[in-house]
Amino acid sequence: MNFGITYVTATFFAPMFFFALAYSHMGWVLRKRAVQLGIEPNAAAPSGDQKTKLTKSQVNVTKTMVMITSAFAICWTPNQVYYLMYNLGYDLNFTSVGYLITMFMSFINSCINPCIYAFKLEAFRHGIRAYLQCLPSCRKQNQAESASDSGTATSHM
């Protein structure tokens, strides 16, 4: 029982606490920096202003990371609470629909992250587009290389 409680605390609740502290500190630093630069937080930036663009970029990355962490917390909390309750002595059924839903939610978290990145980060969207555009030509190139390699391999025998 003690191991389970320690495990849930060390692998879930403590990291979530430190994430909250880190994001609070990042928000405080971003606000402080915006004030130092004379920028209103969330204000529209005049085009060409590098300092403002940098601050907007920092805010966007911070918001993205907060979304990633929030998705993690939402998806994993039910499963971790279920496991904690089991370790506290509650008689729980690990084949019940409720438990299976908590497992499904924790698995869904892996699918949500790329969607958040695609939604929030322009560079990620450009990279995905470039990769997807490359797929047909890359596949043809790989097939051509494989055919020439197999032809070369048989000629050496």
Residue-wise pLDDT tens digits, 60-70: 888 888 899 99
Domain ranges for the chain, please list them. 2-120, 126-157
Q: What is the pLDDT of residues 111-142, one digit of tens each?
A: 998 888 888 888 888 888 888 888 777 666 66
Residue 155 has pLDDT above 50, yes or no: no
Q: What is the pLDDT of residues 24-76, one digit of tens each?
A: 888 888 778 777 777 665 555 555 565 666 577 777 888 888 899 999 999 99
7 vs 90: CA distance, rounded Å: 17
> How is residue 9 annotated by DSSP?
I
Alpha helices in the chain (DSSP H): 2-8, 14-37, 50-87, 97-120, 122-155
Phi, psi dihedral angles at 117 (to 5 degrees)? -60, -45
36 vs 136: CA distance, rounded Å: 49
- CATH code of the domain occupying 2-120: 1.20.1070.10
Task: Tell me the mean pLDDT in the region 86-91.
Answer: 90
